[in-house]
Structure 1
Amino acid sequence: MALKSPKSSAATKANRAAADSAARPPRKKKKKIIGWREWVRLPDLGIQRIKAKIDTGARTSALHAHKVAPFTKDSAAYVRFTVHPIQRQRKPEIVCVALVIDERVITHSGGRSEHRYVIRTTMKLGKSRWPVELTLTNRDQMGFRMLIGRQALRRRYLVDPGRSFVVRKKKAKKRRRRAQ
């Protein structure tokens, strides 16, 4: 009969623990529910509030931009553009500058193709903030100034198409009135 050394016993326990944890499925972070339209912020671009349509049928996200002008600075490609964050209004007009990370040909649902600049910026939805890629396009004829595609939502949110503006800023606590 062979005796186990304390060292091999500890190693066996460690192996069992590793096997047990490998057998258990990894914990999945619970995804938050959002509506088919939400208010978002693009703080890096100076956009404090813009209404966005959540479109799981679109792969990429798009931002309404006009006066799009590419330029080079320190041998890097940049783009300057203006945004009207409020639907059907020309004011305010926010001038933005961003590094161009790519140029893509995007095909619309109607089959028409368009060349677009792609930028990366921070998007904030409620308390969450993360980097997203946005294509710049003229969305004058569209109902929303911004479209959030499925790549930006991946592993973060589930969309409830029957609800709107689910994500809200934290509300201030109501003050109790003093009895007089």
Structure 2
Amino acid sequence: MDCTNDNAAAAAVEPALSIAGWREWISLPELGISHIKAKMDTGARTSCIHAFEVEPFERDGAKWVRFRVHPDQGSTERVITCEAEVADFRAVTDSGGHTEMRYVIKTMIEFNNMRWPAEFTLTNRDTMKFRMLVGRTTMNGRLVVNPSLSYQLSVECEAL
């Protein structure tokens, strides 16, 4: 049996990846979200953001969605209204095995002086600890997660 590690060879040619903590402060500037606490979730393929009052509409012949976000963990006081073009509408299965249809948007994600486009599904996360999850697809080729660290790549915004 050949037990060579092909991943080791791939890692040798990969560019240096940033090391993220298991939770980080993220900005979504195109949505007007200056900071939101996110769980860096290697168990999730797709990233998602807390959204409520989700309303589809049409703009210039394209499908768009308007939604509201409570960006502050554990609070419903601050509300941000966002609009984004719909990239997809797909079935997503959560960690509990429940499948739901979700709107998918593409927007820029920003933190630690890095900025790149990412897909997010919209779902109500009011009962969840984190209002945002950053999944593997968003991290791929850019980040690795060290579960013993927090806020490795961002400044804590607890006072904001």
> For 1:168 and 1:140, how far apart are their aligned partners in 2?
24
Deviations 1:149-178 (A, max 9, x none): 000000111100111000135xxxxxxxxx
> For 1:115 and 1:168, how far apart are their aligned partners in 2?
32
Runs ≥4 in structure 1, deviation > 6 angstroms?
none
Does residue 144 of structure 2 align to residue 158 of structure 1?
yes
Which residue is equivalent to 2:38? 52
Does residue 69 of structure 2 align to residue 83 of structure 1?
yes
- TM-score, length basis structure 1: 0.78
Give the deviation of 1:95 after TM superposition.
0.4
Alignment of structure 1 residues 15-54 onto 2, 5 Å: 27-54=13-40
Structure 2 unmatched ranges of 5 or more: 1-11, 156-160
Give the deviation of 1:90 after TM superposition.
1.5
Alignment of structure 1 residues 55-66 onto 2, 5 Å: 55-66=41-52
Structure 1 unmatched ranges of 5 or more: 1-25, 170-180
Deviations 1:35-66 (A, max 9, x none): 00000000000000000001001000000000
Give the deviation of 1:108 after TM superposition.
1.4
Give the letter for the 2:93 counterpart: T
> For 2:67 and 2:33, how far apart are their aligned partners in 1?
13
> For 2:76 and 2:94, how far apart are their aligned partners in 1?
25
Which SS does the other structure have where 1:152 is aligned? Answer: helix
Which residue is equivalent to 2:82? 96
Which residue is equivalent to 1:110? 96
Give the letter for the 2:39 counterpart: K
> For 1:29 and 1:167, how far apart are their aligned partners in 2?
18
Deviations 1:62-100 (A, max 9, x none): 000000000111211000000110012122210000000
Alignment of structure 1 residues 118-157 onto 2, 5 Å: 118-157=104-143
Give the letter for the 1:37 counterpart: R
- TM-score, length basis structure 2: 0.87
> For 2:76 and 2:149, how far apart are their aligned partners in 1?
28
CA distance 1:77–1:32, change in 2 (3 Å): same
- What is the number of equivalent residue pairs in this alignment? 145
Structure with a larger share of its residues in helix? 1
Which SS does the other structure have where 1:44 is aligned? Answer: helix
The structure whose Rg is larger is 1
Structure with a larger share of its residues in strand? 2
Which SS does the other structure have where 1:151 is aligned? Answer: helix
Deviations 1:81-122 (A, max 9, x none): 001100121222100000001001001122111110000000
